[in-house]
Amino acid sequence: MYDAERDPYCYPSSDVLKNKAGLTTARALERFEMAMTFARSEEPLPNGRLSVRHYRAIHRHLFQDVYSWAGRYRTIRISKGDSVFCYPENIAAQMTRVFDWLKDQDFLRGRETVDFAEDAAHFLAELNAIHPFREGNGRTQLTFLTLLAAAAGHGLDLDKLDPIVTLGAMIASFNGDETDLAGLIADLAA
């Protein structure tokens, strides 16, 4: 669960996000969100150029049935544990910076698996620190990483993904150590 300032995304006196189904319990929303995003993930993803606009379109696609703000940057400050994510007033500029870096790196094309994994880990760590959306950042990151890997000539075997290991690697990368995340991505791409 995220910690947030007074949260206009949530129902009054609740930490449950306002949603299109009008669900007011965390458990019901979690089940609904999982079902809807899974269904959308089975559909073709939006076409794009691996840009900020494409990234936002992916979030919109995955979460359009759940949240009215799908694909839009969050407007409040959030944190998770000791991790304070990018302030909302800086999200647009930071997203531009990270995606400009990706473009300057030719979208990680032409790299051997280990080099691809290291650069993808750096990109993912930066993206995670920005955390542009109120909810759904991890699923959008993973979906985008899959597209990025395919465009760079690397498949990802997501069946190998261990959620606990992944969370640990993401936390470590947030704190500046991208080694575990790079190893995880290399294992998925192998």
Render pLDDT for 137-184 as a digit per residue (tens, 0 to 9).
Answer: 999 999 999 999 999 999 999 889 999 999 999 999 999 999 999 999
Q: Is the pLDDT of residue 2 over 70?
A: no
Please report the pLDDT score of residue 6 as a whole number.
76
45: Cβ contacts below 8 Å, ≥ 6 apart: 58, 61, 143, 147
Please report the pLDDT score of residue 61 as a whole number.
98
The model's pTM: 0.94
Q: What is the CATH number of the domain that holds 122?
A: 1.10.3290.10
Answer whether residue 48 is part of any domain: yes
Answer whether residue 4 is part of any domain: no
Q: Which domain holds residue 89?
A: 40-189
State how many domains the chain has. 1
Judge whether 145 and 136 are in contact, CB under 8 Å: no
Answer whether residue 23 is part of any domain: no
Answer whether residue 33 is part of any domain: no
Torsion-angle region of residue 6: left (phi > 0), alpha (psi -120 to 50) or beta?
beta
Question: How much is the average pLDDT of 10-24?
Answer: 97
Q: Is the pLDDT of residue 106 over 60?
A: yes
